[in-house]
Amino acid sequence: MNKSILLEDLGLKDYKDTWDYQEQLFKSIIDLKIKNRREGSQLETPNHFLFVEHPHVYTLGKSGDMGNLLVDENVLTEKGAKFYKINRGGDITYHGPGQIVGYPILDLDNFFTDIHKYLRFLEEMVILTLADYGLNAERSKGETGVWLDVGTPFARKICAMGVRASRWVTMHGFALNVNADLGYFDLMIPCGIKGKAVTSLNVELGQKEVDMAEVKQRLLKHFINLFEAEFHSSDIHCLVLNNRYGL
């Protein structure tokens, strides 16, 4: 089993371009698995982890309700935002600057073949990261993602998640609000869940801005521990990320 993961930080990148890149990596892993099975070979399948920030964009999962987008596309254009229907699970989600988006494209045969465990591990990675900042984040029963003040009138979501998996290969992932402009969430019913707010790490800490690189580094540290994995990269920026906490 190959538990080495190629880390790439794509910086600020268009959603559709990133989606196409994900699909390319996703397909290449699946094609290799099919080849291994057909030819009886045992070539190692690679794993990838993409960090990215997107320009303002709204995405609707395959089981989502279009009614959860509260404005028409003309308003989105005025706001400088795009809209896509995509092939992950979940409902409507917003991505934008100040948000850390992570796309693990993993062959779970290299780790464990349990999609629910995979989602819980992604949630745990975020929960542990937020604990590093003194926040008591939690899961909310029946609502994938990470929340604060669950079970109270002040419940608010800080991290959304939605994944796709085929032949135990994953794509899409999580979006953690770090320095996000929360006004963009007012244009939708986030994840189709009515009556619950959305928050961002900088708001919770009472800061103007939180160091995004530090948050990424803490996410990676907890991911490594949970998945018993290791990261490698030929990207100088990612090597700096890896080395910052001795990963």
Is 67 labeled as ligand-binding?
Answer: no
Is 92 labeled as ligand-binding?
Answer: yes
Q: For 19-26, which contacts have Cβ atoms below 8 Å and span 24 or more sequence positions? A: 19/84, 19/86, 21/50, 22/50, 22/103, 22/105, 22/171, 22/172, 23/171, 25/105, 25/171, 26/105, 26/166, 26/169, 26/171
Domain spans, the chain:
4-244
pTM: 0.91
In the annotation, is 238 catalytic?
no
Give the pLDDT score at 191.
54
Residues of the chain with pLDDT under 70: 63, 89, 189-195, 236-237, 239-247
Among 130, 191, 215, 238, the one annotated catalytic: 191
pLDDT digits (tens, 9 = 90+) for 146-175: 999 999 989 999 999 989 999 999 999 999
Give the pLDDT score at 93.
83
Backbone angles phi, psi at 243, to 5 degrees: -80, -20
Q: Say if domain 4-244 classifies as CATH 1.10.10.60.
A: no
Angle separating helix axes 115-132 and 212-227, nearest 10 degrees? 140
